[in-house]
Amino acid sequence: MQLKKYATALNVQMNTAIRFKPRVLIYYAVADKSNPSNITILEIYVDTAAYKAHIETAHFKKYKETVKDMVRSLELVDVTLLNSAKKPVCKI
């Protein structure tokens, strides 16, 4: 039940950020198949300033408040994108 509440809060936060913050580019959240409570989130921003602005938004602060008792550990890793690939969007 706790995982479902977390997933709901995360979904609201992610979709709000993507919809209303043009400098938030991508959000992916995945769960470990063998331990579904182990969540990894990949976030891509235009730049560091965009990330810093994002964590000051009301919707992000609401998310953090909502999940504060659900998250046992948090590791932030600042990375540099080496490369990416995706299929083009196809209209059917």
Range of the domain at 46: 2-67
Tell whether 13 is covered by a domain: yes
What's residue 5's pLDDT? 95
Tell whether 27 is covered by a domain: yes
What's residue 45's pLDDT? 95
| Average of per-residue pLDDT values in the chain | 93
Are 51 and 45 spatial neighbours (Cβ–Cβ below 8 Å)? yes
Tell whether 80 is covered by a domain: no
Token representation of residue 70: 């659900």
Looking at the predicted structure, is the pLDDT value of residue 92 above 80?
no
Tell whether 34 is covered by a domain: yes
Query: How many C-beta atoms surround the C-beta of residue 22 within 10 A?
Result: 9
Reported for 30-38, long-range contacts at CB under 8 A and 24+ positions apart, including other chains, are: 36/3, 37/2, 37/3
pLDDT in tens, 7-42: 999 999 999 999 999 999 999 999 999 999 999 999
**How many domains in the chain?**
1
Tell whether 88 is covered by a domain: no
Token representation of residue 35: 């331990």
